[in-house]
Structure 1
Amino acid sequence: MIESISRRKLTVTQQLSASFLLVILIGSLLLSLPLMHNSNAPATTYLDHLFNTVSMVCVTGLSVVPVSQAYNGLGQLTAMLLMQIGGLGLVTLVSLSYYSLKQKMTLSDQSLLQSALSRSNSSGLRPYLFFIYKLTFCLEGVAALILMIDFIPRFGWGHGIFNSLFLAVSAFCNAGFDNFSTTSLTAYATNPIVNITVAFLIIAGGLGFANWLDLVRRFKAYWLEKPRHFKLAFQPLSIHTRLVLYTTATILLLGTVSGWLLELNNPGTLARLNPFQQGMVSFFQSVTMRTAGFATIDYQAANKSTNLLYMLQMIIGGAPGGTAGGIKVTVAALIFLLFKSELKGQKQVVFRNRSIPQALIRQTLTILIFFFLALLSGYFLLLITEPKLDSFSLLFEAISALATVGVSMDVTPNLSTAGRFIIMALMFFGRVGPITVLLSLLNKPEKNIRYAETDLTIA
């Protein structure tokens, strides 16, 4: 089955990377076909479509030519499929069709699927895979119906339904593309239906499917309990789910309040809005920085301090095992817990009276180092290839690409050919890199060789 994606002799990490490269290659060739383009589309090259395809498959949102300008209905449908495949993964899609045909998978195929789903073991792969697709299509479908309330009167029946489906898929996959504007969702900055629905989809996609499964199981159990005690509703959740939920809620709250206060008196962003609208816009920016890529404000008009705050949120990203990018909220949480334990003089890193294994802390630090090495390398190359562009805006662009966010300070269309390849590489590494790094760490046998200790001065 997976042999059609890549050769059996390739490692699991290489097969995962090859699956994304395969989708990118096919998608870029399809989108470059004239039958995919609008009759009045601006002149484009294969590189333009390749850049857009990389961004779609890596669910980023950066583009050199807007979807609404470049592609007709068939092209937009292709773009929607690319985002869906990029968000859920080609390996999971092929595996789903394989399971649907009731065929048995080899152990190597199960290992590949397990890695693609970020699962720690291979037990229950089939029901978990079906749960992912049921949840995805259910949430996207319900959200699309809600968006139709606004979009059908605005665009008409045909375009209203299609635009709702396109935006729902893009939001859940944290892709950041829309097919009806050239300025993202800035025209809908104060529209509650669009804001709340899209924000929910972004959070849902970035929450991680394992956490959704835990929540669904807990909700079913809670609903059957008699009497129901709200205080006990979340206690049986796994430690991982609690850590993700607490960290996500904290980041969203701090991001919303901080962004609101920093932009409160800025006439280019929030100053002209009423308090409710200011809160909604601030909340949406905090959500979209979880690697979604939609924008309801002009980031060039925002204060640099605010954009720096947004960069930090982009780096953190969403939860593992979902459609979001970044270093992941679990990595950020473990770094904070490690810092907290060192300040308290504790020998163990603890969360909810549970100690975190040292091996997990080492993996966390390795992913963090990989991310920042990739970021600094990409940013360094951008400073060389784009000397005429603002350095702060280039850093914003580099972080947005590597964290697969997709927001921009209007840098993307002005990139040189070399700059575009750098951004494409950052988007690809941001989508595939952390997975391959973690898998390479997990697959290596632990060596029990112990050496004599030594002392070093670090401060």
Structure 2
Amino acid sequence: MHRFLRHPVRLVPFGFLAAILLGTGTLMLPAATSAHRFTPFSTAFFTATSAVSVTGLSVVDTPTYWNGFGLVMITVLTQVGGFGILSGATLVVLVVARQLGLRNRLLVQAETAEFGIGDVRGLLLRIAGTMVGCELVMTAVLAGRFWLGYDYPPGRALWYGFFHAVQGFNNGGFALFSDSLVGFARDPWICLPIAFGTIVGGLGFPALFEASREWRTPGRWAIATKLTVWGSVVLLVVGFVGLLAAEWPDPRTIGGYDVAGKVLATFTQSALVRTGGFAVLDTAGLDEESVPLLVALMFIGGGSASTAGGIKVATFFLLGFAIWAELRGEPDVIVGRRRVSTASLRQALTVALLSVALVVGGTVVLLLLTEGLAYHRALFEVTSAFSTTGLSTGVAQTVAEPGQFVLTVLMYVGRVGPLTLGSAIALNTRRRLYRYPEEQPIVG
């Protein structure tokens, strides 16, 4: 126990589990439902896990099943989960930096310039201030639109604006409408603030702080910031172009919209698909060509130390640079005139391969537990749960309890797994005073 407590980062999974169990107990109360009846444990546990892991998947119709108290609890759990993720990721960086020795500590500090080694309190206050500030701006715009554009009473408009602002910035994905945000697909005053909040929350504060501080000199950004910011731009463009091309003529999604509506809806969905969870396109009616694209984008996810899930943008593009260097026969992996360490490449490969194994394994188990389920729908739902995205084709609400439990486990593992794994790998660094003879096996 003493050795375990030496690294408090390892307590993060237990903190998330405690929040989930507390939320489960609260959501089981009759006071949390519209029917004023006890909620089954499996439903409350799934919903609490989805909220704390900022996923947004649900096995019930959120706006009709839960009453005001239940929706407030979901909002609180999402906010706690979002800030817990950010502060937990901050704790990882700070603890890892202190445990790695002077040379590696300086390297970590150089790569995460905003994470000072000592000022934990100031950093957490800055994170909280940024979070609250973004949510207040989003709330004001959304509430004003619901009030002035849709004639909602002021109190209801403010509640709807606040709820969706919290869900958007924290990449939660719960909505107060049965069709998510499909009904607002052509409304820029609803789509753009939520897309903006999702992008900011999904970048991660190390990248966000450094990019905002050094916006005039992007060449001086750390590798992690460059990969996260420019990688996110690339994925946003790829998702937008791919979805627009695939769904342009489809009457089930955007086929009936005008050009401006098609562009707005596709751009918003591209911004939300990697981890936002909201749907402005009917995911059950997506063209088959769109499904592999969405699965890939969900699996990649957002930035490190953010509310986003997935293997992370920096991990994906780091592996891409490694492949490019190998194809060119380069001895080192170079990103922005900086050589990437072998340890970072091994960590990226470990996270990516373990994530692939979890998604494939989860898909197989879900198929075995659910008769008649199409493979692509199972893969979509499992990837959405693991990457804490929250998009759904309706599988979560139709599978039996064993299948729902599989998705619940994937949401929890997808949220705390990469965080714990990353800290464990970094803290498990060993120094060996000898090396074995080298041998080059045949590959391929």
Give a deviation string over 1:29-53, Cα, whole Å, max 9, x none.
11111112224x7984121111111
8 Å contact from structure 1 (residues 12, 112) kept in 2: no
8 Å contact from structure 1 (residues 19, 90) kept in 2: no
Aligned position for 2:252:
268
Residue 22 of structure 1: CA displacement?
0.2
Q: Secondary structure at the match of 1:347?
A: coil
User: Of the candidates 272, 284, 288, which is equivalent to residue 268 of structure 2?
Assistant: 284
- 1: CA distance between counterparts of 2:276 and 2:146? 21
Count of residues in Structure 1 that have an aligned counterpart in Structure 2: 427
- 2: CA distance between counterparts of 1:386 and 1:447? 48
Residue 240 of structure 1: CA displacement?
2.3
Give a deviation string over 1:120-142, Cα, whole Å, max 9, x none.
77332221111100000000001
Aligned position for 1:455:
440
| Identity rate, percent | 29
Aligned position for 2:336:
352
Indicate yes or no: 2:113 matched with 1:123.
no
Give a deviation string over 1:385-423, Cα, whole Å, max 9, x none.
112222210110000000000001111111111101100
Aligned position for 1:150:
145
Give a deviation string over 1:223-258, Cα, whole Å, max 9, x none.
xxxxxxxxx553443332222111010010111011
Aligned position for 1:168:
165
Q: Secondary structure at the match of 2:339?
A: strand
Residue 429 of structure 1: CA displacement?
0.5
Return closer, same or farther for 1:356/1:167 CA change in 2, 3 Å cut-off. same
Indicate yes or no: 2:248 matched with 1:303.
no
Return closer, same or farther for 1:43/1:261 CA change in 2, 3 Å cut-off. farther
CA RMSD of aligned residues (A): 2.6
User: Of the candidates 212, 218, 229, which is equivalent to residue 216 of structure 1?
Assistant: 212
Deviates more, 1:317-326 or 1:74-83: 74-83
8 Å contact from structure 1 (residues 91, 113) kept in 2: no
TM-score, normalised relative to structure 2: 0.90
User: Of the candidates 356, 365, 375, which is equivalent to residue 359 of structure 2?
Assistant: 375
* Correspondence list, 1:290-369, <5 A: 290-369=274-353
- 2: CA distance between counterparts of 1:174 and 1:109? 22
- 2: CA distance between counterparts of 1:331 and 1:110? 20
Deviates more, 1:121-130 or 1:394-403: 121-130
Q: Secondary structure at the match of 2:440?
A: coil
- 2: CA distance between counterparts of 1:371 and 1:408? 19
Give a deviation string over 1:349-380, Cα, whole Å, max 9, x none.
11111111111000000101111111122111
- Can you give the 5+ residue segments of structure 1 that lack an aligned partner in the other structure? 96-106, 220-231
Letter of the structure 1 residue corresponding to residue 142 of structure 2: L
8 Å contact from structure 2 (residues 30, 37) kept in 1: no
Aligned position for 1:204:
200
8 Å contact from structure 1 (residues 147, 194) kept in 2: yes
Indicate yes or no: 2:190 matched with 1:194.
yes
Q: Secondary structure at the match of 1:325?
A: coil
TM-score, normalised relative to structure 1: 0.87
Return closer, same or farther for 1:125/1:404 CA change in 2, 3 Å cut-off. same
